[in-house]
Each structure stands twice: as structure tokens, then as C-alpha cells.
């Protein structure tokens, strides 16, 4: 149980184009999902909190117009990187909270490697 | 602001050589402390949640313990497949469920 998937696992795009990454909770409903990015040999950096049916909450320094987040259902959140540039190349990981009556444990997806050329 | 410090940054072990990883934290009211394992190019894999000082949890060769200021992840008789980066994170009490991560400890177990 508590499986989170991401699609695609890898994507290469040209500078100036937009890329959409999907995050799905496969066997549970998640009212809250999170988006992280991770640079090589660094820890996870929280980008935003995604709540079903409401606007995402972005961390300080994260451009909300560049990283569009939509949480349209209890099992799906999407991250769209708009007008991508090489500096947006990174490993993007989502997580979903399993509300099992107490733990609020976060389960992570396998990640999406974005390369902008 | 919540802070999580993990040590050492890297740990090289011989197969069967037990050791411990440290996670020191400061948080304004701890809801939970989490341990994850991350393999290269993959998302973190959930290992344990600890809620209160004195709590211990075990899974195969891993055992996590918690005090009011730190947590330890003990690896007993490690095998090469235990090689990974181990991440510690804290979740504060409050309205959101964000995690604050440490930088991780990269463990390499040689056969």
C-alpha cells in the first residue's frame, strides 16, 4: 500500500517550452501532496504544498508563475514548468500524505528527471 | 525555524560492521521524526516514523531510536544492499504537514 507514481520518469525539452509532470497516489486518496526538487548530492528542497481543490502554497523563493501546480482530484497533482530554461534542469519528486488517523506519513514518488537543453 | 543536522555525511562500512547514523534536530513542537532511504536516481523510501522520546522501531537490520534532541539509525551487520543515502526529516505540530530534511548520510557497504 501507499504507492505514489510519477510520469514521466525522464523528460528532455528545449528551452522556452513547458513540461507537465503528473503525480498520482495509486492506492489511497491524498488531500495534500508536496513537490520537491533535488540537485545532485543535495537533499530535498520543498517547492510547494498542493491541496486538493485549492491553490497551492509556494515556499519562499519559488516562482508560482513558473511552477504551476494543480491538484484537481484526490489522487492527482500536476506540476507544470513553464518556459523552461536550463537552470530548471533538476530531479523533481512529489509526495503524498497518507492520512491513516495519526501518522501523516509522506510517501514519495520515484521522481522525474528534467533536462532542459 | 526547524533544523535537522545529520552526521556523518558519508560512512563506509565493511559488510557485517555495525554502525549508527545521527540526526540532531530542533523543532517547535515535534509531531514526528521520519527516516527515509534514497537510492541514486530514485525517490525516498519510507522507513520509520518516531513520535516521542524513548520510542524505538525496527525493520530487518535497521533500528531507529528517538530522544528529545536527536535520533539514531542503527545498522546491524549491514549488507551491500544497505548501501544508500539515509534521510532524516522532522514534522512540526501545526496546520501543515511539511517535512524539514537533513542533508543525509550516504552509506556504502563493501562486501
State the pLDDT at residue A102.
59
In this structure, what C-alpha cell is assigned to residue A75?
Answer: 489522487
What band does A2 get if pLDDT is binned at 50, 70 and 90?
A: confident
Distance between CA atoms of residues A107 and A32, nearest Å = 11
Give the helix/strand (H/E) hosting B12. Answer: strand B10-14
Query: In terms of C-beta density within 10 A (0-12 exposed, 13-18 middle, 19 or more buried), how is residue B19 classed?
Result: middle
Q: Sign of the CA dihedral B92, B97, B100, B104?
A: positive
State the pLDDT at residue B1.
82
Q: How far is CA B87 from CA A70, A75, A88, B47, in A?
A: 28, 26, 24, 10
Query: In terms of C-beta density within 10 A (0-12 exposed, 13-18 middle, 19 or more buried), how is residue A10 classed?
Result: exposed
Dump pLDDT digits (tens) for A23-75: 999 988 888 999 999 998 888 999 999 988 888 999 999 999 999 999 988 89
* Residue in A106, A108, A112, A115 to test binding to B, most B beta-carbons within 10 Å: A106
State the pLDDT at residue A41.
85
Q: Is A68 near chain B, with CB under 8 Å?
A: no
Answer whether residue A90 shows pLDDT above 90. yes
What band does A79 get if pLDDT is binned at 50, 70 and 90?
A: very high
Answer whether residue B92 shows pLDDT above 60. yes
Query: In terms of C-beta density within 10 A (0-12 exposed, 13-18 middle, 19 or more buried), how is residue A72 classed?
Result: exposed
Nearest one of A4, A20, A3, A10 to A81, comparing CA atoms? A20
Query: In terms of C-beta density within 10 A (0-12 exposed, 13-18 middle, 19 or more buried), how is residue B94 classed?
Result: exposed
Residues in chain B within 8 Å Cβ distance of A91: 41
Q: Is A93 near chain B, with CB under 8 Å?
A: yes
Amino acid at each position: 500500500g501507499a504507492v505514489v507514481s510519477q510520469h514521466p520518469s525522464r523528460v528532455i525539452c528545449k528551452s522556452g517550452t513547458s513540461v507537465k509532470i503528473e503525480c498520482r497516489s495509486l492506492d489511497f486518496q491524498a488531500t495534500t501532496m508536496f513537490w520537491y526538487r533535488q540537485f545532485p548530492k543535495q537533499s530535498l528542497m520543498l517547492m510547494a504544498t498542493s491541496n486538493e481543490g485549492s491553490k497551492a502554497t509556494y515556499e519562499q523563493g519559488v516562482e508560482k508563475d513558473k511552477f504551476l501546480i494543480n491538484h484537481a482530484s484526490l489522487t492527482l497533482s500536476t506540476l507544470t514548468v513553464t518556459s523552461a530554461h536550463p537552470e530548471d534542469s533538476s530531479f523533481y519528486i512529489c509526495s503524498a500524505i497518507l492520512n491513516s488517523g495519526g501518522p501523516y506519513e509522506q510517501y514519495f514518488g520515484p521522481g522525474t528527471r528534467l533536462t532542459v537543453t | 525555524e526547524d533544523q535537522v543536522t545529520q552526521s556523518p555525511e558519508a560512512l563506509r562500512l565493511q559488510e557485517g560492521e555495525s554502525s549508527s547514523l545521527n540526526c540532531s534536530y530542533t523543532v517547535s513542537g515535534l509531531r514526528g521524526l521520519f527516516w527515509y532511504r534514497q537510492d541514486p536516481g530514485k525517490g525516498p523510501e519510507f522507513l520509520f516514523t518516531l513520535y516521542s522520546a524513548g520510542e524505538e522501531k525496527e525493520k530487518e537490520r535497521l533500528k531507529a531510536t528517538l530522544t528529545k534532541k536527536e535520533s539514531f539509525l542503527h545498522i546491524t551487520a549491514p549488507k551491500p544492499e544497505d548501501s544508500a543515502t539515509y534521510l532524516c526529516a522532522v514534522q512540526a505540530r501545526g496546520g501543515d504537514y511539511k517535512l524539514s530534511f537533513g542533508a543525509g548520510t550516504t552509506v556504502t557497504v563493501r562486501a
